[in-house]
Structure 1
Amino acid sequence: MDEFLKWYFSDRPVLASLLGAEGYDHTLGDFTAAGWAAREREEARWAERLQALPTASLDDEIDRDLVLSQLRGSIAIASSWPEWRRDPAVYLSPVFGAMYTPFQRRLQPEPELVAAAIARLAEVPGVLAACRANLDPGLAAPLLVQRGLGQARTGRNFLTRTIPGMVGDEGLRAKLAEAAEPAARAFDELVTFLEGFTCGGTWRMGEKLYSTLLRERELLGYGAAELHEKGKAAWAELDARMREVAVRVSGGEDWRAAMESLMDDHPPTLADMRAEYEAETLRARAFVAERDLVTFADGEECQVLPSAEYTRPVLAVAHYLSPPPLAGSRTGVFFVPYTPDDFTEEQVRQRLRTNSRAQMPSIAVHEAYPGHHWHLSYMAGNPRTVRKVFRTPYFSEGWALYVEKLLHEQGYFDTPATELAHLDCRIFRAARIVVDTALHCEDMSVEEAETFMATKASLSPGTAQGEVSRYCAWPTQAPSYLTGAIEIDRIRQSFQGSLKEFHDRIAGSGGLPLGLAEKAALAVSRAGGTTGG
């Protein structure tokens, strides 16, 4: 594992530094076609080598199978869905993350952060040149190119103003801004290129690869068609429950109308939204501590901040930045979904409506306590390094939705309004399963998907549009929430021990594919031994 991780980090220096590994923060890595080809050869070699590797313990077996699941997924994508030839985000996201996250976390002195940023800025023109060279007009999809164009247009301001604005020392700030100018010009060139780039590829992954990823990367025992049916069944069950709760909210069974009414009670401004989310986050933490549902990591802290400027064109919902698991920090960030600067007053109002006061408790639980922040700050203490490096959204997002239901069971959503909003968050994830599988298996158009999300969940048309764009660009991720929550709930039924023991054990074991998470949790439950965590 040590040898594998050494190769993995050297090949992906941005990811390595974001995880907290030392020595990788001065480079962005190789994004040329030759670099991608070499990476694919090495992944195949490592998969073959690890498959033949004997294991001495259950922990070793889980570690090996975790890495194999990631490699098999990557190999399957490379062979039939090469993202580096299809999507500008493959090049843009590492640049943005590498520049922003170190200044957000501030784990090194400011002069060191600036020196690393300047070194990486020098490589930005090369990365963006690789983007222009590698995008294939026959494979790249117009929808993905337009998403990338929206991000690229934020590049100049991000590099020359946003990042220098995070530097306190005036001299260092000026030095960084000067170094950013060539990289900003490279972004200008990429914008011009993408504006004129004509392509005819599809964003639809197809049923074969989609099902392969579910079975071999996520270690689920079923493929896209069965997952689609699970989503439809979950939606129908939740719809019936919500009709009952809606009567207590508005006197009628129309839960969409009831949610529309509740969404009118929202913070008046984006800044007020952030402040109210912060208060709700503190309330959720106190509730979880009082009920003794989990063990908190020493020194953990969850900051509640506006979303980063570069994410605003592509992320319309709250999201979370975890502590770097290979470093000592346990401070994470709950990002509140601010709108791009060019949004109209009505677009801002619609964003505020989809973060109403009835919805805030569920979202704070999901993003912070005992959702993402608790999980990722706690699992950072796992002694198995590979568990900190690889995690799947089918566990991490599944965990965050599972704990929403857990806190409902514990009485946290204590009004009809917050209970309905809790169920609405869940039915939204059921709708995601239906839509994502249908979109990528060619059973639904983008327009049909947007209508589905706007009518089968309480999303505004603008938010539904942003959501569907995300599904097109990120196949298999959207179903992870409810799929994982259902699987974790199922595993809990077989666990012999207290709720707190179960939560500490399964979440502390990492963000494992569900088949491995079950093995880690229930081997302990039945044998009384230890594994990871």
Structure 2
Amino acid sequence: MTTPDPIAAAYLEHHAEYRPVDLSFMGLPGHDHRLPPTAAGTEGAERAGIARLRALLDSAGGADGTGARLDRRITASQLSLTEAALDRLPRFANPAWYTGEAAFAIIGLLLPSGRPTPADAVRARLDALSDFLADGRTRLRTAAAPAALAARAGREARATAAFLRNGLRLHPDYDSAWAMPAERAATAFEAFDAALADLPDAPSAAGRDHIELLMRDAHGFDFGMDEALRRAQAAFDTLGDELVERARRRDPARSWQAQVAELSEQTPASPDAVLDLCRTLDTRARRAADRLVTPADEYGLDYRWLSPDFIDVAGPLYFLPYRSPPAGAAGSGSPYWITPLASGGEVQAYLRANSETAVKVIHAVHHGSIGHHTQNARARAAASTLARVGGTDCALGLAFLSSGTMVEGWACYVQDLLREAPGFYSELEEMFLVQQQRRNAASVLVDIRLHTGEWTLAEAAAFYRDEAGFAPARVEAEVTRNVMLPGTRLMYWLGTEAILDLRRRWTGDTRAFHDTLIGYGHVPIAWAGDEMALAGKLG
């Protein structure tokens, strides 16, 4: 990375102090050996750092240029959100924060990137994990947390303990010096899991004020959650009517649910064929999109079978098949993990889960080709230093929540964008896309109504299952994510809508619009729109 703006440099130094695992995912040096501080006084020191950075922002004067403007907006946003989280949702009272940071402190250093595996840093973090998790147990003795987060933490602790004893030694760069500290760390994870049994339950709602703050300071919207609810409810209803009408035109005797379900039977010929299908459809998506956006063909995407060391731990953890490449050590390409058929697994169920439509929409378009892959590649050249790293996938989600409408809004938007490429989707696949839009609108409703206390966890789960059409096996994970990460599910649909609004106002051609938009990097769509307006590109 080039020399950052002084404001950006100061913020990254602050972020690194309290979130060193994030810096490892970003590929930025100097912190791979560290875990987040948990000692008494950490919160006070962090608040003092926030105050110093605010004073630096206030004294900096006006910003010249896109990069400096966006760096300062991102910094101000992060300071506001971090302070609010310390007040309302302290990470030290979240058991899944400890397990997520601890697990990915190690796994993050083992994932392929543009640098060798830092063996000494892995050893240093393994050595530090016992104290980190012991501090967590101590803090949680006087805390309470939503039961969904305690359940998630328990799953993560058990899975990571097993990984440290079994999967770790399968890594290509395994170092025998890791063996003893890995065993001590595994025992610490088990002790942490056992301590969760006594953790009292806590309310799941973050509150109206917090959601309003996230919408305006994180996502940059000029409207609040009541307007977001109105828009999302109207879209949910309209898209439901559209599904009914599409199904009636295609086959009046069968519901849209039954017709969309046909797609799961259009599968690869065998489990071994899934990998080639991913590669073929990715290539096809790039070609289909060429007149709409410039694909990142200069930066490789390597579809490969999930490495054996990660097989057993990938399911219980936030282990993404595709992760944003570390901006500071990106190398020449990104791995895209495809999970193979489990030993003794049911073949037809595996093939249905990897149907041609699922591979096309979710893997080849949303995450691969012109989706996250191209957007991440363009972000690495953004004028704003912080916009190059803000969308980094870290232990529990995106490094900066302000990146969310761009990261997820873009990936959802391009699913529908390829409807403009003749022949890319079938009629039935277009119905599937409408269903996907409707589910994203549904997630806005849950995200807001759960955190304002309007809906209970049970009501949110019932809505996902009975009205939004989520698979029953997916509902628990969706609700847990809503609880743990307020304001993150609403960014998918609202981000897509914000892109559509900018496109309607754009004065140039389609390809230039898309290339310009993602060239701003990991920033709120609303702020990208502000920069477009300053450049005279919006009508």
On whether the aligned pair clears a TM of 0.5, the verdict is yes
List aligned pairs for 1:232-381, cutoff 5 A. 232-247=233-248, 249-252=250-253, 254-266=255-267, 273-289=274-290, 291=291, 293-296=293-296, 298-306=298-306, 308=310, 309-313=312-316, 320-336=322-338, 353=352, 355-363=354-362, 364-381=364-381
Matched, 1:17 2:24: yes
List aligned pairs for 1:149-188, cutoff 5 A. 149-168=154-173, 172-188=174-190
Distance 1:292 1:234, change over 3 A: closer
Give the Cα separation in 2 of the matches to 1:325 and 1:453.
35
Give the Cα separation in 1 of the matches to 2:456 and 2:407.
29
What is the aligned counterpart of 2:34 among 22, 27, 35? 27
What is the aligned counterpart of 2:411 among 400, 417, 420? 400
Q: Deviations over 1:284-337 (max 9, x none)?
A: 223223x35225263332435549543412559x75301111224252344457
Q: Deviations over 1:214-253 (max 9, x none)?
A: 1122211222222122211111221122223324554446
Give the CA RMSD over aligned residues.
Answer: 2.8
| Structure 2 counterpart of 1:518 | 529
| SS across alignment from 1:501 | helix
Q: Deviations over 1:328-363 (max 9, x none)?
A: 42523444578999xx968x9777645533333221
| SS across alignment from 2:481 | helix
Cα displacement (A) at 1:259: 2.0
Q: Under a length normalisation based on structure 2, what TM-score does the superposition of the two structures give? A: 0.87
Q: Under a length normalisation based on structure 1, what TM-score does the superposition of the two structures give? A: 0.88
Give the Cα separation in 2 of the matches to 1:71 and 1:314.
28
| SS across alignment from 1:57 | coil
Q: Deviations over 1:152-182 (max 9, x none)?
A: 11122212222221125xxx54332333111
**What letter corresponds to residue 61 of structure 2 in structure 1?**
P
| Structure 1 counterpart of 2:95 | 88
Give the Cα separation in 2 of the matches to 1:80 and 1:337.
37
Task: Give yes or no for contact 2:296–2:369 (8 Å, CA) kept in 1.
Answer: no
List aligned pairs for 1:82-161, cutoff 5 A. 82-85=90-93, 87-110=94-117, 113-135=118-140, 138-161=143-166
Give the Cα separation in 1 of the matches to 2:496 and 2:332.
24
| SS across alignment from 2:327 | coil
| Structure 2 counterpart of 1:453 | 464
Task: Give yes or no for contact 1:354–1:460 (8 Å, CA) kept in 2.
Answer: no
Q: How many percent identity over aligned positions?
A: 25
Flag structure 1 segments of 5+ consecutive residues without an equivalent.
529-533
Distance 1:358 1:7, change over 3 A: closer
Give the Cα separation in 2 of the matches to 1:268 and 1:37.
59
| Structure 2 counterpart of 1:217 | 218
| SS across alignment from 2:325 | coil
Q: Deviations over 1:245-295 (max 9, x none)?
A: 324554446212222333344458876555533432232223223x35225
**What letter corresponds to residue 154 of structure 2 in structure 1?**
L
Task: Give yes or no for contact 1:142–1:200 (8 Å, CA) kept in 2.
Answer: yes
| SS across alignment from 2:470 | coil
Task: Give yes or no for contact 2:299–2:332 (8 Å, CA) kept in 1.
Answer: yes
Distance 1:36 1:158, change over 3 A: farther
Cα displacement (A) at 1:413: 4.1
| SS across alignment from 1:359 | helix
Task: Give yes or no for contact 2:21–2:32 (8 Å, CA) kept in 1.
Answer: yes
Q: Which moved more, 1:136-145 or 1:64-73?
A: 136-145
**What letter corresponds to residue 356 of structure 1 in structure 2?**
S
Give the Cα separation in 2 of the matches to 1:102 and 1:40.
29
Q: How many residues align?
A: 516
Matched, 1:493 2:521: no
Cα displacement (A) at 1:478: 0.8
Distance 1:274 1:132, change over 3 A: farther
**What letter corresponds to residue 240 of structure 1 in structure 2?**
D
Task: Give yes or no for contact 2:267–2:351 (8 Å, CA) kept in 1.
Answer: yes
**What letter corresponds to residue 355 of structure 2 in structure 1?**
S
Matched, 1:226 2:227: yes
**What letter corresponds to residue 289 of structure 2 in structure 1?**
V
Q: Deviations over 1:20-71 (max 9, x none)?
A: 1122212223123422331232123313431442124142222211211121
| SS across alignment from 2:203 | coil
Give the Cα separation in 1 of the matches to 2:405 and 2:212.
14
Task: Give yes or no for contact 1:299–1:330 (8 Å, CA) kept in 2.
Answer: yes
| SS across alignment from 1:294 | coil
Give the Cα separation in 2 of the matches to 1:340 and 1:55.
57
Q: Deviations over 1:83-102 (max 9, x none)?
A: 321x1221222222221233
| Structure 2 counterpart of 1:531 | none
| SS across alignment from 1:332 | strand
| Structure 2 counterpart of 1:73 | 81
**What letter corresponds to residue 116 of structure 2 in structure 1?**
P
Flag structure 2 segments of 5+ consecutive residues without an equivalent.
1-6, 392-402
Give the Cα separation in 1 of the matches to 2:378 and 2:532.
16
Distance 1:471 1:353, change over 3 A: farther
Give the Cα separation in 1 of the matches to 2:250 and 2:339.
27
**What letter corresponds to residue 293 of structure 2 in structure 1?**
L
Task: Give yes or no for contact 2:211–2:487 (8 Å, CA) kept in 1.
Answer: yes
| Structure 1 counterpart of 2:400 | none
Cα displacement (A) at 1:124: 0.7
Give the Cα separation in 2 of the matches to 1:418 and 1:527.
33
| SS across alignment from 2:535 | helix
| SS across alignment from 1:303 | strand
| Structure 1 counterpart of 2:14 | 7
Task: Give yes or no for contact 1:450–1:461 (8 Å, CA) kept in 2.
Answer: no
